[in-house]
């Protein structure tokens, strides 16, 4: 499957799964290029063009929420394996996320592998306080989208943003990205914020690719990103 420059010079929306997503009218995205993550298919009346999952544990626990007929017209972009077997905690240690599962029967998929510049992966945040993103100098964006780094803070910067770059998009808008633990499908709320999440490590790399990253989520949680109101971007 070839995705390189499929949407060259276009804009796209990365649709994350934060509770703030419930404040937005996603039907406005019907003519836009959309990249969803993880359990976005739980959202009524919204199906992204691309669905990114970078965590084996998420796929195992929520297999049928992720892999179902809703995405028959779209493409799964999945981190499903690792180049660093036996190095760090990638395969069997605490925080292992790239063991991979059998997805041979999923036809509409594009597979990437986890790899790091140093050839090893340990902690990406300062456990147990969880206040700081570590080793951001190890973060990279592979323009050929063969591998991804896990030294970003989330699936958004580890996989969805590199996908947007690979697709040739020149403007990326984030929605549903609010750095919270809550999801749009949760019954409970007010679980707090993931204080280590930010995009400071992403912006210099995007500048090299000539790509702009904007925040259009109503929470405007990331001061390092220029904010553009969702409805204004879509000229509503």
Calculate the average pLDDT of the chain: 93
User: Is residue 4 scored above 60 in pLDDT?
Assistant: yes
Q: Which domains does the chain have, with CATH numbers?
A: 11-233 (3.90.1480)
pLDDT confidence bin for 154, thresholds 50/70/90: very high
Provide the pLDDT for residue 191. 76
Q: Which of 157, 192, 149, 197 is nearest to 174 (CA)?
A: 157
Q: What is the pTM of this model?
A: 0.96
Q: Does position 57 have pLDDT exceeding 60, yes or no?
A: yes
For 94-130, the pLDDT digits (tens) are 566 788 899 999 999 999 999 999 999 988 899 888 8
Q: What is the pLDDT of residue 123?
A: 86
Res 173: pLDDT:
98
- Distance from C-alpha of 46 to C-alpha of 184, rounded to nearest angstrom: 13
Rounded to an integer, what distance in angstroms lies between the CA atom of residue 55 and that of residue 37? 11
Q: Could you give the CA distance from residue 133 to residue 152 in angstroms, rounded to a whole number?
A: 8
Q: Give ∠ CA 55-155-172 in degrees, rounded to 5.
A: 155
Does 236 have pLDDT greater than 80? no
Confidence of residue 192 (pLDDT cuts 50, 70, 90): confident
Q: Is pLDDT of 25 > 60? A: yes
- Residue 77 CB burial class (10 angstroms; 0-12, 13-18, ≥19): buried
**Region 119-143 average pLDDT:** 92
The lowest-confidence range among 20-29, 32-41, 87-96, 166-175 is 87-96
Judge contact between 59 and 53, C-beta under 8 A.
Answer: yes
Pair 193, 180: CB distance under 8 Å: yes
From the CB of residue 69, how many other CB atoms can be counted at a distance below 10 Å?
A: 7
Taking a C-beta distance cutoff of 8 angstroms, is the pair 130, 95 a contact? no
The predicted pLDDT at position 95 comes to 60
């Amino acid at each position: 499957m070839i995705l390189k420059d499929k949407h060259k010079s276009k804009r796209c929306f990365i649709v994350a799964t934060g509770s703030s997503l419930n404040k937005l009218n996603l039907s406005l995205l019907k003519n836009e290029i959309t990249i969803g993550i993880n359990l976005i298919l739980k959202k009524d009346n919204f199906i992204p063009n691309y669905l990114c999952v970078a965590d084996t544990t998420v796929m195992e626990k929520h297999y049928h929420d992720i892999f179902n007929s809703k995405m028959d017209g779209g493409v799964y972009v999945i981190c499903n394996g690792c180049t660093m077997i036996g190095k760090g905690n990638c395969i069997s240690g605490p925080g292992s996320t790239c063991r991979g599962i059998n997805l041979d029967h999923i036809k509409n998929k594009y597979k990437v592998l986890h790899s790091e510049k140093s050839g090893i992966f340990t902690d990406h945040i300062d456990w147990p306080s969880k206040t700081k993103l570590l080793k951001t100098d190890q973060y990279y964006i592979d323009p050929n989208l063969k591998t991804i780094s896990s030294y970003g803070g989330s699936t958004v910067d580890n996989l969805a943003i590199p996908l947007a770059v690979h697709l040739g998009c020149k403007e990326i808008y984030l929605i549903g990205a609010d750095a919270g633990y809550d999801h749009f499908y949760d019954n409970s709320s007010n679980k707090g914020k993931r204080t280590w999440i930010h995009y400071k490590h992403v912006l210099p790399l995007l500048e090299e690719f000539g790509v702009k990253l904007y925040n259009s989520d109503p929470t405007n949680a990331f001061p390092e990103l220029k904010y553009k109101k969702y409805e204004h971007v879509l000229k509503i």
